Structure formats: C-alpha cells, structure tokens
A and B are shown apart, each in its own frame.
Chain A
Amino acid sequence: MSALVAAGGVPGLWTLADGQKLQAPDIEYGKLSPTLIVLGAAAVGVVLEAFLPRRSRHVAQVFLALLGLAAAFAAVVGLAASGAGSTKAQIAGMGALAVDGPALFLQGTILLVGIVGVITFAERRLEPRAHGAPVDSFAAQPASVPGGEGEQMAVKAGWTTSEVFPLLLFAVGGMLLFPAANDLLLLFIALEVFSLPLYLLCALARRRRLLSQEAAVKYFLLGAFSSAFLLFGTALLYGYAGTVSYSGIARVVSGADATTDPVLAQTTGNDALLLIGGALVVMGLLFKVGAVPFHMWTPDVYQGAPTPVTGFMAAATKVAAFGALLRLLYVVLPGLRWDWRPVMWGVAILTMLAGAVVAITQTDIKRLLAYSSIAHAGFLLVGTIATSKDGISSVLFYLGAYSFVTLGAFSVVTLVRDAGGEATHLSKWAGLGRRSPLLAGVFAVFLLAFAGIPLTSGFAGKFAVFKAAAEGGAGALVVVGVIASAIAAFFYLRVIVLMFFSEPRADGPSVAVPSVLTSSAIAVGVVVTIVLGVAPQYFLELAGHAGVFVR
C-alpha cells in the first residue's frame, strides 16, 4: 500500500513518490485456485449459454459445473495436503484473503455441497415430460408472466433454464470467498456475489411460480437490508480502525497499533464506533445464518424456492456464513469477547428455543425443515460461543454433518409428488412408510440425524458443540440446548409417526422414481450421515487440525 501513498502522507492514487514504481498486485494464484476455478467455470458457463444450441446446453452445463467444482475440490485437497491449512497457512491476495485451516475445510465442504447441488439441479426425471421434452424443477422461461401466454409457448417449445448452473457456480464462488475473506470489503463483495445468484435461483420454480417469486422478492429485500447493515458496520469499523483488514482492526482493538491515519484522527479508537460497527456487521452475518431475530425470511424462502435450490441454499449458505461469522468473532473481535459473548448467548438461546418451538406448529414439510434449520443455527452458535479451538472445530464438523443431512432431506422432499407437483403438506405424507418403506426409511434416518439420535452424524455434531461449550464454561447453554433438542425431537418424530403409523390416504401422493442423479444425492446423504455417526474420528481430527485461524 505504501507505494500508493504520496510523500505528504495524503493518499493519492495518481501521484507517486520520487523513485517509486507502481507495483503490480501480488496474487498467489495457486493458493486462490479453488475460487478462481469455480468463477472461471461460471464465466465459461455464461458463454456456453450464449453460443451453444438450446438442445445441448443442459448436458454441457451440468458437465462443466461438475468438472469445475470437482477441479476446485481437488485444488482444495491439494492445498490442504501441502500444508496450506496448517503449517503454511497464510494471508493471500494482498491481505484480503486468508488461506488457512478453517477456510480450506469450509471451502471443501461448500464444494462438495455444490456438487450434490448440481446433481439435484440436473434431475429431469421427476417432472412429467412437457410436450415430450424432459424438464427439471425450474421454470421454462422465468421472465414470462406466470400462467401467461409466454409461459405456455416456452413450455411448448420445451425450453429449460440451463442458466441455473452458471448461477449456482457464481454462488459457490462467492461462498468460497466468504469464509476466507480477511477484509471487510471483500466480505461484503463475497456476500453480494453469492447472494444475488441465490435471489435469482429462488424465483425460478416451475410450479407455484408466484410463491417462488414472492419468496425471491422477500429474500432480496431482507437480504438487501442485511447487506446494508454489513456495509454500514464496515464503514463504522473503518472509522474506528482506519483499515478494513481483519488483522488491522484486531490490532487497533488490542491497542497494539498506535499509528493512526491523520485523516481519521478524530474517530480512531472511538469505542462507540467499534461497538456499533461490530454489532452491525455481526447482524448482517446472523441474518445469513438465519438466527433469531433475523430469521423471518427463512420459512418463506425455504418454502417458495424450488426444492433443489432450497437444499443447496440451506446447506451451503449456512456453511459459508458460519465460516465468516467464526472468522469475524475469532480474528477481528476476540478483544471484545466480553462484550459480544452475552449478546450471542441471548441470540443462541432465542434461536434454539424459537426454532424448535415454532417448528412444532408447522404443517408444511419445507417450512418445518426451515424452522429446524433455525434451531440448528442455534446449536451452531453454541459452539461458536465457546471461543476455543475446540469450538471452531466443533462448528466445522457440525457444518459438514448438517449440510449433507439437509441436502438429503430436501432431495427426498422432491420425490414425494402429486398432480400439483411436490406434495409438501404434511398431511399428504401420512402412511408414506407403508407405500414406499425405503424412501420413508431414508427420510427417517435424516430426521433422526436432525434430532441428534446417537449413531447418526447429528449426534456426533451436537455432542461436539456441547462439549466445546461445556469446556468453555457455557454449561447453562448446554442445558438450554438439551431442552431445545428435546422439543425439536418432538416434531421430527411427528413426521416419522405420520409416515409409519398413519393409514395412507386414498388421494395421497406418489413417490416419483428418480434418475440416478437424485438417487445418488440421497445415497451420499445417507452414507455421510451414518459414517459420521458411527466413525466420526477421522473427520473430527480433520476439523480439529483445521481449527486455527491465520491472523
């Protein structure tokens, strides 16, 4: 940066001090390759969309997306194997990005979630064929008025929205940056990069399009608020510290950095700015996490969005946002621990209890899962509050375990259908266990994992965060968490009762036979759920090694 600062101490972009040369930014392309690969693949996807004939787009896009995500995942594994996650952790991209254990672990998780997401997006066997052409869960022409002439023509022509794949890739790219962001500005940019494609994806449902569009608008409006909070907080923190870099702010908070920028002399070190700014940034992140009282969007968006999108979003957004929240709390604001811990205690308790209690009254399976995701955000916050290395790794493990259960559960939801599309009303799930025992059994496994029954991944995750919290002196939170789990168990069980112990309804839904795509997504979910439940040690170790942030 010093190269850009003129001799007088006043920043100037165009005036260089004598003898100085403008240096090219130093980017570690290798370290940042996962993100670059995904964003590059997304850009290529846009080009494909423009130049390929309609007929061949679907296959090409799916292939490109899978290839890009797999390559990025390989890059993450390569980086981790070379020690970038532990011994050689570093700040890259001129201080804007951290390449460390948590970042790589979360990026790996997001990429795997992305791969499963692409697989569920690509499913074309569930919807009845429209005029002979296989179609997916997305609107034929999203721009046309729902129920209008344009829509009918688009359906007749057999159009599909293959743009969803580049959109998903852009979202994944943003999510990869989000937990790695080491600078508030990049945090904001990453937030926008992954949020905007998600707003769009939410609006693309083929069935119940108005509901889907309403969900998208709601998500967009509330998301815009949260972005504004985040940005405003960033500005205040800049005023406080004179920098937007995480380590810079942390140094000012701890009082280690006495050099102040003359322009900001009046505001630097002003605690009011720090507290309000920190609170606003955290609020922005809590919104993305879906914590109470910033959870209002969750049920509507989860319900309205096309189910594959809901599954992807529920899993990946949570991973990315918790990664960012962890880094913010552990790297930027550890000095403020005594200020934010009581507040986060309150938020965690509210989130766990409100999520679990409100879920009891839900009658729609997608809304039920939405409230369950809120309760799980509460459990994750319990681990976050532990402020220890164990706390970080427990949250990392929980995120990995939770996201695959979520993906699996929403994939099952796409299969239960009647004439109106997916049959998401709970009453229609009655007796499903008698009609298709296998599917109901699989869904029961996911529900038991959500409920945290031993021998599923949910239990290992829950135990990890509770253990970290208890060691961190938050025993009371553990007790509240246990109570919330007991309440939550009730509504998960209600669904199991409904599926297995109720008589099937005559007009009940049928279970669509999925192609190998959705089947494999569900299979991955089941396998991960059981492996992480029975033999979690390897993954706990992985998360344990990844539990240190680079500063």
Chain B
Amino acid sequence: MSFPLLTVTAALPAVGAVATAAVPAARRTAAKWSALLFSLATLVLAAVVLARFDPDGGRYQLTESHAWIADFGVRYELGVDGIGAVMIALTALLIPFVVAAGWHDADPGEERPSSRWRPTQGFFALILAVEAMVIVSFAATDVFLFYIFFEAMLIPMYFLIGGFGDRAHAAGEDEGAKQRSYAAVKFLLYNLAGGLIMLAAVVGLYAVTADQLGTGTFSLQQIAEARSSGELTMATTTERLLFLGFFVAFAIKAPLWPVHTWLPNAMGEATAPVAVLITAVVDKVGTFAMLRFCLGLFPGASDWATPVVIALALVSILYGALLAVGQRDIKRLVAYASISHFGFIILGIFAMTSQGQGGATLYMVFHGISTAALMLVAGFLISRRGSRLIADFGGVQKVAPVLAGTFLVGGLATLSLPGLAPFVSEFLVLVGTFSRYPVAGIVATAGIILAALYVLLLYQRTMTGPVKRPEIEKMPDLRARELAVAVPLVALLVVLGLFPKPLTEIVNPAVEHTMSDVKKTDPKPQRPVAEHGWFDYKPARHSGGEHE
C-alpha cells in the first residue's frame, strides 16, 4: 500500500478549512495566516505530485482505489494523468495568491450583528474547502466520485459569491447586496440545473453498465476495459443522450455560449480573488471534465457532436470578445474575455487533434495564471478607487507605475502577446484547429484581434492620459503584500512563455491517450513539417490514417 499522495493533497486544504473556521472570532489575522500556510503546504504537495508523475509511465498514476458505496457501484478511485497533474498544480499554485490577494476582503465592517459572526474565518475556510473539492475533481477516476465533488463545490462557491463583495458598490450598499445575492443565486441555479441533468446521465450510465456488465460501475478504467474487450457497447442513441447529459453540465460550468450568462454576474459581484477562484480554478473543472469524461466515456457521441460544439465555441470566442469590448465595468470585461478564452479551450478540445487538445490543456493553465494576474491587480485597483467602472479611472500609470505595469503584463498575456505564456497555448489551439477545420481556425483568429482591442482599450482608458480626479492623485502604488501577489504571477507568465516544454512533456502523453480514446489521429499535413519550433511539440503519430 503506497502513500496516498493524492488523498493527502486533497485532504490538507480540507483540514485547513476546518482549522481556519475554528479560529476564534477575535483572532482574524491568525485565520488568514492559517489559510495561507495550509494553501502553501498544499502547493508543496502538488509539486510533489507533479514531480512524482512520470510522463512515460502508465496512463493514470499515483492511483488509489478503495471500496466506498458498493450498492451504487461507487469506488473511491483517484489517479492522475498528465492533464490532471497539471491542473492540480495550477489549483494549488493559484490558491495562495487568492488568499493573499483577499487578505482584507472579509474584514468585518463597523457593526457586528453578533459576536459569533466570523466572516473572515468563513471566507478563508470556504476558499480552502473549494480547493479541496477541486483537487478531488481533478484526481477522481470514478465518475460518481467526480460528480459528488463537482456538485458539492457549488455550495462553498455560492457562499463566497453571495456573502462577500466589494465594500463600495456603485449602486449603494443595499443595492450591492441585492445584486450580489442575485449573482450567487444565478450561479447556483445554472450550475445546479446542469448538475442535475448530469445526475440523470450518471444514473443512466449506471443502468447501462449494470445492464451489460452485471454490476454497475463508474470506474473509468473498468469502463474503458469493458469497452475495448467488447463487453460494453452502448447503443448510439443512449450514448448520445448520456453525452448530452454530461456535456450540458460541463458547458454550463465552463461556460460556453449560450449558457454563459451567470459568469459576468458572478465575476462582477464577487471580490476579485473569488472571481479568480471562479474563472481560473473552478471553471477549469468543466473543460477538464469534457476532456476526461465526455471524450473518454462517449467517443462516438463526441464525434457526432463535434460540429455543433465547434460552432458554439466559435460563437463564444467572438461573442465574449465583442461584449468585452463594450463593457464599462472592469470585472465584467474580464469575465467576457474569459468566456472568449473558454471558447478557445473548448475549440481546442473538440478539434480532435493532439495540438488542439494539448494546446487546450496548456490554455487552461495559462489562462488561469494570466487571468489571475489581470484580475487580482484589477482588484487592487478597484479597492483603491472604490469603483469598478472604467470611466472612473484614467492616468493611473503616472501615480502608480508598478500597478499599471503589472496590469499591462496581465493584459498583454490575456491578448496572447508572443513571449508570454498564453501565446503558446493559443497558437497550438489555432494550429490544431486549422489542420482539421480551416474555416473554424480562421474565424477563431478574429477573436485574437478583438482581444487586442478590449485589452488595450481597457489599459488606455484606465492607465494612460492625464490624472483627472483627486482620488487618483492620492492613489498609492502596490504595497508589499500586493507586490508579493503580482510579481510572481507576472514572472510565471514570462517564464512559461519562454519555456513551456516541461509542461508539454507532461501533458503530451495524456493527450495521446485521449486521442486514442476517441480513435482519432492527427490529419496528415499537406506538406511534411520538418521540425516544430521551440515548443518542441511532437505531432502524434503521423502514421495513422485520416479520420473516418
């Protein structure tokens, strides 16, 4: 029995959540430090996971398997492939920044309704609880286990969105609380509806496996084995219905147009660190699950749905980018930009090429880091001015050059400037899409142009020009804590932009497994490609024939 590394990695933040919640009401600072230390310790463990993961080893590594609810055919099965390991690392990496950036977000105001009201402890405990649940979701190789944490995650997120907002709200205190509660409910209803649709599909999956294998199972590996040995064959209609059940849930989570509308509300009303938690961490579970569960469990149906999904992804890319251009609110702008980026991720996944899927996986990581950089710095900016409206700013770079500089790098990463990490992933997604769906690739490129527009306009309006308002004149530059958040994120964007290779090496074999799940090989290039550039991205198996 080997050391249950994944369980411990997931359990540590859960323990941290309990410990943080138990800190007495008066010791707020202790709660903050407890959360920070637990999240850093989790980061160490996640690094160990990444280090122990052998890219050339088996598909799922660090596996654990225990009986759990035998009556439902459910096992407690954990294991990571390259994609899962990288996503766990991303999660563990971002949480300390979220905690540090949200240091003062949950300090209680003047009046305290009760001596037992402990918002600070609650805020940080909820963040750690989300982290624990996200890690289990990334590590679960049992569909039911995944489902449970995929759903349960909504509850702490709901309280984080609804319970904590920016202190100053443009529309006033009461109206702010109302909008926040609306956003939280919208978030929960959308995701819960998706989750319940998925529940029907999960039940259906059990019925199918129980019918054909004798005992129902949710184990990915068991299902894959039964599939390849021919024991388990799904009728086409059944497979498509089950695929839809899973896909709708993940599309809402991701979010994909037209079920994206909860995201701008949630990200707009939540504090900046919580917004990062939503878009950079929790939403990634949706795109990750498309790769692992939709493609892995229902390859035939995934193939069937590809044209529609690609069309929806393209709409997401353009629609999100266009609406981002028109936003007046900084946080909502970043939310719409994220919708556009999720379109790219989903496009890459369903392009069904190794570059596309590898690119999509990298995209998940890099989008997480770049959005965190942009949004957290935007949060610092907003907290200084007490307003989220772009029009309330202007000329900030004169008074707070470091803030403006980090904001610019975050923004440039968002528009995929070459040299910064997101460029690598966006390029791979586009290349992967071009090789199979040239038209889709061309349309998606328009998203990049729009990205340049919304990012640069945002920077121009907030940071450049004369300082018009007295509030901005007095605006302090980044403090030590804020620098500790912004600088490492910006540095990561640069480093990973120049050296993405360690990540691609871990991700590539997992992508090949997924490709073989869906029985796809990369289309043959028209002209032989001599050597891929400095990404060192090996195109998978040129020997295979064209699909279909």
Contact = CB atoms under 8 A, between A and B. Distances in A.
7 contacts: A453-B152, A471-B210, A478-B203, A497-B181, A501-B162, A501-B181, A540-B71
Interface in A499-526: 500-504
Contacts of B211: 471
A464 B184 CA distance: 29
Given A500-B162, A501-B180, A454 B71 contact: no
B193 A486 contact: yes
A434 B70 CA distance: 40
A493 B185 contact: yes
Nearest to B151: A454
Interface string A462-474: 0110110011000
A437 B117 contact: yes
B69 A454 contact: no
Interface residues on A, range: 35 or more
B189 A490 contact: yes
Given A453-B151, A497-B162, A482 B197 contact: yes
Contacts of B116: 436-438
A178 to B, nearest CB: 27
Nearest to B202: A463
Given A467-B203, A475-B204, A485-B196, A454 B189 contact: no
Given A454-B152, A464-B72, A482-B199, A502 B181 contact: yes
Interface in B101-140: 113-114, 116-118
Contacts of B188: 489, 493
Interface string A317-335: 0000000000000000000
Given A493-B158, A501-B162, 13 more contacts: A431-B113, A434-B117, A437-B114, A460-B69, A464-B71, A466-B199, A466-B200, A467-B206, A467-B216, A485-B196, A493-B188, A540-B69, A540-B71
B155 interface: yes
Contacts of B193: 486
B23 interface: no
Nearest to A536: B69
B206 A434 contact: no
B535 interface: no
A471 to B, nearest CB: 5
Given A435-B113, A463-B199, A501-B162, A537 B70 contact: yes
Contacts of A497: 162, 181, 184-185
A347 interface: no
Contact of A500 (B114, B148, B151, B163): B163
A448 B152 CA distance: 10
Nearest to A469: B203
Interface in B55-70: 67-70
B64 to A, nearest CB: 17
A470 B72 CA distance: 13
A493 B185 CA distance: 8
Interface in B173-223: 174, 177, 180-181, 184-185, 188-189, 192-193, 196-197, 199-200, 203-204, 206-207, 210-211, 216
Which 5 residue pairs of A and B lie closest in terms of their CB atoms, listed nearest first? A540-B71, A454-B148, A501-B181, A470-B207, A434-B113
B313 to A, nearest CB: 26
A47 interface: no
A300 B113 CA distance: 35
A408 interface: no
B147 interface: yes
Contacts of B147: 454
B499 interface: no
Contacts of B117: 434-435, 437
B434 interface: no
Nearest to A480: B200
Contacts of A483: 196
A459 B204 CA distance: 16
A474 to B, nearest CB: 10
A454 B154 CA distance: 10
A453 B174 CA distance: 30
Given A453-B155, A486-B196, A501-B177, A467 B207 contact: yes
Interface string B60-88: 00000001111110000000000000000
Contacts of A478: 200, 203-204
A227 to B, nearest CB: 37
B184 A537 contact: no
A435 B114 contact: yes
Contact of A482 (B113, B118, B196): B196
A454 B180 CA distance: 25
Interface in A150-191: none
Nearest to B145: A454
B66 to A, nearest CB: 11
B437 interface: no
A529 to B, nearest CB: 14
Interface in B215-248: 216
A544 B162 CA distance: 41
A312 B407 CA distance: 60
A482 B117 CA distance: 35
Nearest to B206: A467
A360 interface: no
A541 interface: yes
A501 B163 contact: yes
Nearest to B114: A435
Given A478-B203, A497-B181, A500-B162, A467 B113 contact: no
B33 interface: no
A479 interface: yes
Given A470-B206, A537-B69, A503 B152 contact: no
B149 interface: yes
Contacts of A541: 70-71
B118 A437 contact: yes
B427 interface: no
A431 B188 CA distance: 19
